[in-house]
Amino acid sequence: MITLRKGMVLAAGLGTRMRPLTETVPKPLLALRGRSLLDHALDRMEEVGIGDAVVNAFHLAPQVVAAGEARRAPRCTVLVEEELLETGGGLRNALPHLGAEPFALVNGDAYWLDGPSPALLRLAAAFDADRMDAMLLMVRAAQVEGEVGLGDFLLDPVGRLRRPREREVAPYLYAGVQIIHPRLLDGTVPGRFGLMGPWTRAIEAGRLFGLVHDGIWFHLSTPPDLQRAEEALDKGMVKLF
């Protein structure tokens, strides 16, 4: 078990599948239930005691900067990228602000409802820094409304993750929420790259783990996804317990 003190929200993506909404508003600032997706992510961090957060920005960056400056908690440092660094490059760029301990990493378009206890606390309770480089929150693909393809990962009996083989269907999707030890990025160099490379190396070393979410998660890729989530929440699906 670890104590989460710091976190990061990935908010630099172009949000191309969410167009035309993202032509004037960055995807993490799209509203759901009257608050931006970015604020929802930062709210989750604040609820579990995370005091400092990093947010990266690229697409329509001034809007993201203003949103970060408007937060009182957690304290936000917004890093504006001169070029789009993708998930891995953006994370590596932020490491000097995140310290040497494991931290939470949340996609800027991730939105979920917690089960009996907050998902971030469940991840922190299950994270073993000696055995793990990252622990990803998983959702069952069968429970997700929207296009999910062949899935993202498979879990073994002790929670280790692997990617599906060719034509293999994976029962779990990555929920856009994880805890990372900074060593996951060991061996990487500055520049543009995704997280799949570091994840793959961790899988090969038996150090990438997953935890299945026990609440509700919304797939927010396109404008209809956002509308479906708003309608579901309007119908009262606000808490599970």
Q: Hey, what domains does the chain have and what are their CATH numbers?
A: 6-234 (3.90.550.10)
Q: Do residues 199 and 105 make contact, with C-beta atoms less than 8 angstroms apart?
A: no
pLDDT of residue 141: 85
For the stretch 190-222, pLDDT in tens is 999 999 999 999 999 999 999 999 999 998 989
* Per-residue confidence (pLDDT) for residue 152, from 0 to 100: 87
Q: Is 239's pLDDT higher than 50?
A: no
pLDDT of 173 strictly over 90: yes
- Determine contact, residues 215/121, Cβ cutoff 8 Å: no
pLDDT for 167 equals 82
Q: Is the pLDDT of residue 134 over 70?
A: yes
pLDDT at 150: 77
pLDDT of the residue at 87: 96
Cα 74 to Cα 118: distance, rounded to the nearest angstrom: 17
Mean pLDDT calculated for residue range 74-84? 96
- % pLDDT > 90, the chain: 85
pTM: 0.93
Q: Which pLDDT score, from 0 to 100, does residue 240 have?
A: 39
Provide, rounded to the nearest whole percent, the portion of the chain with pLDDT above 70.
95
Q: Give residue-wise pLDDT tens across range 27-78.
A: 999 999 999 999 999 999 999 999 999 999 999 999 999 999 999 999 999 9
What torsion, rounded to 10 degrees, do the Cα atoms 163, 169, 172, 173 define? 80
The residue written with tokens 């543009």 in the block is: 192
Q: What would the pLDDT profile of 6-22 be if each residue is shown by its tens digit?
A: 999 999 999 999 999 99
- Phi, psi angles (nearest 5°) of residue 122: -60, -45
pLDDT in tens, 106-118: 999 999 999 999 9
**Structure confidence at residue 54 (pLDDT):** 98
- In the predicted structure, residue 237 carries a pLDDT above the cut 80: no
More confident residue, 48 or 228: 48
State the pLDDT at residue 235: 77
First to last CA, the chain: 24
Confidence of residue 143 (pLDDT cuts 50, 70, 90): confident
